[in-house]
Amino acid sequence: MHANLRPVSVIGTGMIKFGKHRDLTVPALAQPAVRDALREAKLEPKQIEAIYAGTATSGWMPGQRVARDTGMSGVPVVNCENACSSSATAFREAWVAVAAGLYDYVLVFGVEQLTKLGGGTLPLDQDDIEVSNGMVMPALYAMRAQRYLHDYGATERDLAEVAVKARRHGALNPDAQFRTETTVEEVLASRRIADPLTLLQCCPTGDGAAAVVICPTERASAHSDRPVKVLGSHLASGRYIPGFRDMTTPEITQRCSSELYEETGLGAEDIDVLECHDAFTIAELLYYEALGLCPRGEAVRLLRDGTTSLGGRVPVNPSGGLLSKGHPVGASGAAQIVEIVRQLQGRCGSRQVEGAKVGLTHVTGGGTSGFDHGACAIHLFGV
């Protein structure tokens, strides 16, 4: 697959601690992550040949505003909006450009400042028939949860266990928004958001930024002792399915991952560590199945037996995931890549997945009627 493309590697990473940063501007949020990524890649700003920025709600030209303040103005800037997949989409476009030989050194970053929206549920498109009848993102996932529990005999305690795991992992991540552990009882007793989902089963409102620098693999060793290869990149968009569809099958994730596995010759069994789009507890369970970690209906078993916890066969969301690390939507895809790259470099301290050689990032996004989701980007990395 892609015989004409050059191998590409990640040589620099940076991110800020996710949380509520109301007093900062969007460029100020992004700058520290961008500077860290450049420093790690041993690059001066003037060596960056193009910038790909991902954000959903940061207004016009976010990439140029960051470039202006970091010594990189003037180079081509592409701003990507793909809901929660924005910066993963930016990463993919950057990968395409470097792999095709257009540029050698490219910066990708994602940034979002959700606190400026005032908290609560994300604002959706009011022209959408479902949104105008009361749909909000937590309710979409809540209905998937209700149906999954109904179809497969899982319980609300099983859902809560996903949040408990996320917070256990997040407690080990200095960049996570939540760094305290929780219990099933505490999760179930937290405020009702959209039944059966309670507050601690929903990703928090927060701000953040993450950045990576990529280059052709043949140049990577000059910039990093431990460069990480991009083994595959795939982007899919929602397929409109009118009528009855199984809403506990994340169609876009299933399609995107199976196409990526086919392209790369890798499979779920090859993955040592992954970050997935756990915006709500039910999502993580559905994605175990959609990404091929287990057959349909068996996600709870994987969670219960510890397979997906740190120390298990394939730890999922060692960073704490969107539930604990936080989900500043446009920053999340890039932040997942930062985590997986650092995991493969063995830099993750107490949350390190020992001996990890292959890692995956998965992010979806967008609530629009008739779609599973609007966008999905999945990447595979390896050392």
Chain contacts with other proteins (rule: CB under 8 A)? 120-121, 123, 129-130, 132-136, 138-139, 142-144, 146-147, 150-151, 191-197, 240, 242-245, 247, 369-370
Which of 4, 126 has the CB closer to other proteins? 126
Instruction: Label residue 236 left, alpha or beta by phi (over 0 means left) and psi (-120 to 50 means alpha).
Output: beta
Q: Which residues are CB-neighbours of 150 under 8 A, at least 6 positions away? A: none
Which of 118, 311 has the CB closer to other proteins? 118
The residues annotated as belonging to the active site are: 84
Percent of the chain as helix, strand, coil, to the nearest 5: 40, 20, 40
- Amino acid type, 354: E
Q: How many helices (H) and strands (E) does the chain have?
A: 12, 11
Which pair of tokens denotes residue 151? 């179809």
Which residue, 310, 256, 295, 269, is CA-closest to 85? Answer: 256
In the complex, least distance from residue 190 CB atom to other proteins, rounded to whole angstroms: 11
In the complex, least distance from residue 160 CB atom to other proteins, rounded to whole angstroms: 16
In the complex, least distance from residue 57 CB atom to other proteins, rounded to whole angstroms: 15
Which of 147, 313 has the CB closer to other proteins? 147
Which of 138, 318 has the CB closer to other proteins? 138
Phi, psi for 332 (deg, rounded to 5): -65, -40
Q: What angle do CA 58, 59, 65 make, to 5 degrees?
A: 80
What would you measure as the largest C-alpha separation in the chain, in angstroms?
Answer: 57
In the complex, least distance from residue 141 CB atom to other proteins, rounded to whole angstroms: 9
